[in-house]
Structure 1
Amino acid sequence: MPDQHAWWQRGVVYQVYPRSFQDSNGDGVGDLPGILSRLDRLSALGVDAVWISPICPSPMADFGYDVSDYTGIDPAFGSLEDFDRLVAAAHARGLRVILDYVPNHSSDRHPWFVESRSSRSNPKRNWYTWRDPAPDGGPPNNWLSEFGGPAWTFDAATGQHYYHAYLPAQPDLNWRNPEVRAAMLDALRFWLDHGVDGFRVDAIHHLIEDADLRDNPPNPDWRPGMSPARSLIRAYTMDQPEVHDAIAEMRRVSDGYPGDRVLIGEAYLPIDRLMMYYGADLSGFHLPFNFHLLSTPWKARDIAALVERYEAALPPGGWPNWVLGNHDRSRVASRLGPAQARVAAMLLLTLRGTPTLYQGDEIGMEDVPIPPGRVQDPWERNVPGLGRDPVRTPMQWDAGPNAGFAPPGAEPWLPLAPDWGARNVAAQAADPRSMLSLHRALLALRRAEPALSVGSYAPVEGAAEDVLAFERRDEATGRTLLVALNLGDRERDLPRAAAEPRVLLSTRMDGGAGRLRSDEGVVLG
Structure 2
Amino acid sequence: MSDHPHAARFTVPHPEWAAHATIYEVNVRNFTPEGTFRAFEAHLPRLQQMGIGIVWLMPVHPIGEVGRKGSLGSPYAVRDYFGVNPEFGTLDDLRQLVQTAHALGMKVILDWVANHTSRDNDLITEHPDWYQHDADGQLVPPVPDWTDVVALDYGNRAMRRYMTDALAYWLREADIDGYRCDVAGLVPTDFWDEARPVLDAMKPVFMLAEWDELYPSGGLSWEEFNSDTKLLEKAFNMTFGLRLHYLLDRVAEGHAPLADIDIYLAAEREKYPPSVYLMHFTSNHDVNSWDGTEYERLGPLALPFAVLTALMPGMPMLYSGQESGLNRRLAFFDHDPIDWNNYPLQDFYTRLFQLKKTHPALRNGDPTSRFQRLPGPPEVYAFARSKGGAAVLCAVNVAAEARALPTVTGQWRDLISDETMDLPAGREISVPAQGWRVLVAEAPAAGQPSERVGG
Partner residue of 1:450? 360
**Does residue 349 in structure 1 map to residue 296 in structure 2?**
no
Partner residue of 2:433? 518
**Any idea what the Cα deviations from partners look like across 1:152-177, whole Å, max 9, x if unmatched?**
xxxxxxxx222111434311111110
1:70-469 paired onto structure 2 within 5 Å:
70-115=81-126, 124-133=127-136, 160-166=137-143, 167-193=146-172, 194-207=174-187, 243-258=188-203, 260-271=204-215, 277-279=229-231, 282-296=233-247, 297-298=250-251, 299-315=257-273, 317-329=275-287, 330-337=292-299, 339-368=300-329, 377=333, 393-397=336-340, 424-426=341-343, 428=344, 435-454=345-364, 456-469=369-382
2:397 to 478, 483, 486: 486
Q: Is the 8 A contact 2:400 2:434 kept in 1?
A: yes
- TM-score normalized with structure 2 length: 0.79
Report the AA paired with residue 366 of structure 1: N
Q: Is the 8 A contact 2:375 2:405 kept in 1?
A: no
**Any idea what the Cα deviations from partners look like across 1:378-417, whole Å, max 9, x if unmatched?**
xxxxxxxxxxx8xx942222xxxxxxxxxxxxxxxxxxxx
Q: Is the 8 A contact 1:352 1:457 kept in 2?
A: no
* In 2, Cα distance between equivalents of 1:437 and 1:345: 13
* In 1, Cα distance between equivalents of 2:147 and 2:404: 56
Q: Is the 8 A contact 1:351 1:457 kept in 2?
A: no
CA positional deviation for 1:316: 6.3
Report the AA paired with residue 373 of structure 2: V
More strand by share: 2
Q: Is the 8 A contact 1:352 1:452 kept in 2?
A: yes
* In 1, Cα distance between equivalents of 2:75 and 2:372: 41
CA positional deviation for 1:334: 2.0
* In 1, Cα distance between equivalents of 2:237 and 2:109: 13
Structure label with greater radius of gyration: 1
State the secondary structure of the residue aligned to 1:73. Answer: coil
1:20 to 10, 17, 30: 30
Report the AA paired with residue 357 of structure 1: L
| Residue 317 to residue 447, structure 1, CA distance change in 2 (3 Å) | closer
Report the AA paired with residue 460 of structure 1: R
Q: Is the 8 A contact 1:350 1:483 kept in 2?
A: yes
CA positional deviation for 1:248: 0.3
CA positional deviation for 1:192: 0.9
**Further displaced range: 346-355 or 449-458:** 449-458
**Which ranges of structure 2 fall in alignment gaps of 5 or more residues?**
1-13, 216-221, 252-256, 422-427, 442-455
Partner residue of 1:55? 60
CA positional deviation for 1:204: 1.6
**Any idea what the Cα deviations from partners look like across 1:438-486, whole Å, max 9, x if unmatched?**
1111112222311123452424242110110111112xx2322221111
CA positional deviation for 1:300: 1.9
CA positional deviation for 1:57: 1.0
**Any idea what the Cα deviations from partners look like across 1:117-142, whole Å, max 9, x if unmatched?**
xxxxxxx2311112433xxxxxxxxx
* In 2, Cα distance between equivalents of 1:312 and 1:69: 41
Partner residue of 2:444? none
| Residue 364 to residue 309, structure 1, CA distance change in 2 (3 Å) | farther
| Residue 320 to residue 50, structure 1, CA distance change in 2 (3 Å) | same
Report the AA paired with residue 359 of structure 1: S
State the secondary structure of the residue aligned to 1:515. Answer: strand
**Does residue 42 in structure 1 map to residue 47 in structure 2?**
yes
State the secondary structure of the residue aligned to 2:19. Answer: helix
Q: Is the 8 A contact 1:58 1:68 kept in 2?
A: yes
| Residue 363 to residue 277, structure 1, CA distance change in 2 (3 Å) | farther
Q: Is the 8 A contact 2:79 2:118 kept in 1?
A: yes
Q: Is the 8 A contact 2:84 2:90 kept in 1?
A: yes
**Any idea what the Cα deviations from partners look like across 1:276-321, whole Å, max 9, x if unmatched?**
65548x2121112221222112242122322232233214632333
**Which ranges of structure 1 fall in alignment gaps of 5 or more residues?**
25-29, 116-123, 134-159, 208-242, 378-388, 398-423, 429-434
Report the AA paired with residue 260 of structure 2: D
* In 1, Cα distance between equivalents of 2:271 and 2:374: 21
* In 2, Cα distance between equivalents of 1:305 and 1:126: 45
* In 2, Cα distance between equivalents of 1:49 and 1:274: 31
State the secondary structure of the residue aligned to 1:328. Answer: helix
Count of matched residue positions in the alignment of Structure 1 and Structure 2: 390
Q: Is the 8 A contact 1:487 1:520 kept in 2?
A: yes
**Does residue 6 in structure 1 map to residue 9 in structure 2?**
no
Report the AA paired with residue 164 of structure 1: P
Report the AA paired with residue 295 of structure 2: A
Report the AA paired with residue 60 of structure 2: I
| Residue 447 to residue 504, structure 1, CA distance change in 2 (3 Å) | farther
Q: Is the 8 A contact 1:55 1:73 kept in 2?
A: yes
Q: Is the 8 A contact 1:108 1:169 kept in 2?
A: yes
| Residue 393 to residue 307, structure 1, CA distance change in 2 (3 Å) | farther
